[in-house]
A and B are shown apart, each in its own frame.
Chain A
Amino acid sequence: MKRPLKRVLKDHLNARQLDAGQLDALRSLQPAGDDRPAEGERNRYGAWAGAAAVALLVAGLTLWLARPGGPENLIDEIASEVVENHLHLKPLEVNTTRIAGIQNYFTRLDFMPVESRYLADSGLTLLGGRYCSLQGVTAAQLRFGSVGEDDLRTLYEVGYDSRTFRRIPDYDKGEMPVSTWSRGIKVTLWVEKGVLFALTEEPDKQGNP
């Protein structure tokens, strides 16, 4: 069966990738502790993704600011979007238990995914993540589980813009996270280290984050 050359070549090459040993060897060549993308690296796809993210952000903010009610409903809107994604539980794009693994994978974001102090004693274990969007802005969707329990939670991280999300409590300033409910699922939101976090929590599995 004949197919377009471009498609055949992409399939052929995409099936080839470095194995775990080769990746480890190449990573070991690089300076320890430097998990950031190479300085100046802006491939064509990355540039387009960045431009698209900025365009989406501007369009999203314009529409949001123009709508009736202003920012009052923002928390509920975010919660609704977060729950929608949480319920779908789409497959993870990267499986890792380390934040460094997450930071290595998410190179197309305009912020660096970070660990939250608020979740430090929650007992949650990182499982992996995938790209998603929140309010039209490209975001990281991380999945956590609790050891020994059937409790999957979704944590969203997106770059925080104080002009846009000013009503979200800042944990670094001693403000406590705010919680709301959407379709039977509790969603907790806060800002930390310049990143907006949104965590889902199913009612019959609530722990004490």
Chain B
Amino acid sequence: MFSDAQLNGLYRYGISLTNDETLAYDLLQDAIECYLKMDPARRPVDGAGFYLRRVMRNRYIDQLRKEKRYPHESLEDGGDSLVSMAMPDPGELVIDRQMIESILARLDPLERELLHLWAYEEMTAREIATQLDSPRGTILSRIHRLKKKIARFDLGGDGIREGAGT
């Protein structure tokens, strides 16, 4: 039913969401069980991948809420009223490849998820908006803030530190 490539793709989405390979696997397993329990006639027509990502996301958010670790701030606020409505290009950002793990550790789960959909899966803002059930403008705002946040990380020497800001 699911190819190895599909399973690995969903696993990587889980890693981005949780920053933890064990948690990612558990979420994927739960999501597949949930999908298979559905009446085949009621399974989503827009794609199993879309549905499974949603289940993984919702389950992880529930878990974070129980642990009171759900990231309330920084995602839905509209702080950037002059955000360009053009889709930012992840290729414009350059980072030290040794520092990717440090960067991911400093982002919250929903920021990592956004980074995954935007830079790894290269979805358009509209596709991300559909996946996350959020307005396209909000997605563009979030990407803009995410990009600024990553750009503020001043990568140098042996560690990572935030720069003075932009």
Contacts and interface: CB of A to CB of B under 8 A. Distances in A.
A22 interface: yes
B1 A37 contact: yes
Nearest to B127: A44
Given A23-B4, A41-B47, A44-B127, A13 B12 contact: yes
A66 interface: no
A151 interface: no
A107 B5 contact: yes
Interface in B85-122: 90-97, 100-101, 104, 115-116, 119-122
A173 interface: no
A183 interface: no
Given A18-B11, A30-B32, A44-B127, A11 B97 contact: yes
Interface string B1-41: 11111111101100110000100010011001101100010
B64 interface: no
B43 A4 contact: no
Interface residues of A, number: 38
B15 A1 contact: no
Chain B interface size, as a band, is: 35 or more
A107 B6 contact: yes
Contacts of A22: 25
A34 B2 CA distance: 9
B123 A13 contact: no
A17 B83 CA distance: 36
A43 interface: yes
B contacts with A: majority SS: helix
B8 A18 contact: yes
A105 to B, nearest CB: 7
Contacts of B155: 2
Interface string A1-31: 1111111111111101110001101100111
A64 B14 CA distance: 46
A35 B90 contact: no
B78 interface: no
Contact of B93 (A5, A14, A23): A5
Contacts of B122: 6
A10 B150 CA distance: 16
Contacts of A16: 11-12, 15, 21
Given A38-B1, A39-B40, A42-B47, A5 B91 contact: yes
A44 B100 contact: no
Interface string A119-163: 000000000000000000000000000000000000000000000
Given A5-B94, A43-B47, 5 more contacts: A4-B90, A8-B97, A14-B12, A29-B36, A38-B43
Interface of A: 1-14, 16-18, 22-23, 25-26, 29-31, 34-44, 104-105, 107
23 contacts: A3-B96, A5-B91, A6-B90, A6-B91, A8-B95, A10-B120, A12-B97, A13-B15, A18-B8, A25-B29, A30-B1, A37-B1, A39-B43, A40-B43, A40-B44, A40-B45, A43-B6, A44-B121, A44-B127, A104-B4, A107-B3, A107-B5, A107-B6
